[in-house]
Amino acid sequence: MHSHPEPLPKRLYSLEISRALWLARFPGYGLRLSVSVLFPGMSHLKKDRLLERYIQYLEVERNASPRTIIAYRHALEKFKRFAGDKASWQTCTAQQFRAFLLDCMKASMARSYVRLTFAALRSFYKYRVEREGLRDNPLREVQLPKMEKKLPIVLSVGQVDELLTAPRKVERRTQAPTWSAARDAAMMELFYSSGLRLSELAALNVADLDTFSETVRVIGKGRKERIVPVGQIALKAIQQYRFEASVQSGPLFISKLRKRLSSRSIWVMLKKHLSQTSIQLRVSPHKLRHSFATHLLDNGADLRSVQTLLGHANLSTTQIYTHVTTERLKKAYNEAHPRA
């Protein structure tokens, strides 16, 4: 094994999550569903005017995604249940939030989820200080556990190639449309070619793809728009799928009922094709995004460009991939150098 990075493939251009994503497609209706429908067992909570004003602020002024709004509402109501009926947002103390933090840790809650929960609480109190004249923010005195640093799992270029060619090798089921293999190949090619998130891919419309400029328009987190390049192999796969399925407008990727393919269905599709390969890793759609970023950096792309392509708000989020690349180089060095 040598220390040189694998050649850049042509494909790469120079839950309850499913419920949240469904709501993202129908925000006008979904965000007005009762709390008891979204989170069973919360119907006993009294209407909280402070909380509702904050949620409205997130939705209208911050233009937060439905997914974020649901997560933040859930976090705030989780604390309310812990604090009890007599607790008031006006009088909550740092000690109460420390006790809540300890309770979350005792429940073996993932650190990432703990930090998300407290991000919601901190955002809520920051809003109250700035908009409602609250004098003291008790969350300032609460120290959170550090995030566990886990390097993302990345497929090799060879593994990506094996996975992306799998749809054409699977025997079609009788109930599946004749164009299902072409669709699955096009979706996975686009995933890896442009480094999209699962929700971004599911939300794509035909009009978002520009074959002349070889780009795709993506609406990412916070409803921010970005334009991402699409490689030639992915473009050809998409054109073949659209021809076979007669997709001219509306959702880009459709089900056999010709409705927009859900995020969950895309996940199941990837899992099905993975089972037909020799890859032993647990691969999610996000692993193709990880592989996209790492393979670009392996082959000399600068960090800022990768940040833009991924739609990361902060460069620090993208920097995790530099650690992956370094680890791969170290491994190659240790295996190849005679005095390593």
**Is 312 designated active site?**
yes
- Choosing from 125, 127, 321, 328, the catalytic residue is 321
**Is 72 designated active site?**
no
Q: Give kind and range of the element (H or E) at residue 209.
A: strand 209-210
Q: What is the pLDDT of residue 34?
A: 36
The contacts of residue 29 (CB under 8 Å, 6+ apart) are: none
Which DSSP string do the residues of 213-270 spell out, in sequence order?
TTEEEEE-GGG-EEEEE--HHHHHHHHHHHHHHT--SSBSSB-TTSSBPPHHHHHHHH
**How far apart are the C-alpha atoms of 253 and 238, rounded to whole Å?**
9
Q: What is the pLDDT of residue 340?
A: 52
**How far apart are the C-alpha atoms of 323 and 327, rounded to whole Å?**
6
**Is 321 designated active site?**
yes
**How far apart are the C-alpha atoms of 316 and 322, rounded to whole Å?**
10
Low-confidence stretches of the chain (pLDDT beneath 70): 1-46, 147-152, 172, 174, 317, 323-333, 336-340
pTM over 0.85: no
- Choosing from 53, 74, 217, 312, the catalytic residue is 312
**Is 286 designated active site?**
yes
**How far apart are the C-alpha atoms of 173 and 97, rounded to whole Å?**
54
Q: What is the pLDDT of residue 6?
A: 52
The structural domains of the chain, ordered by start, are: 34-141 (1.10.150.130), 157-336 (1.10.443.10)
- Choosing from 289, 290, 295, 328, the catalytic residue is 289
Q: What is the pLDDT of residue 22?
A: 39
- Choosing from 73, 78, 80, 197, the catalytic residue is 197
- Choosing from 19, 115, 221, 226, the catalytic residue is 221
Q: What is the pLDDT of residue 260?
A: 95
Find out whether 300 and 294 touch, Cβ atoms under 8 Å: no
**Is 289 designated active site?**
yes
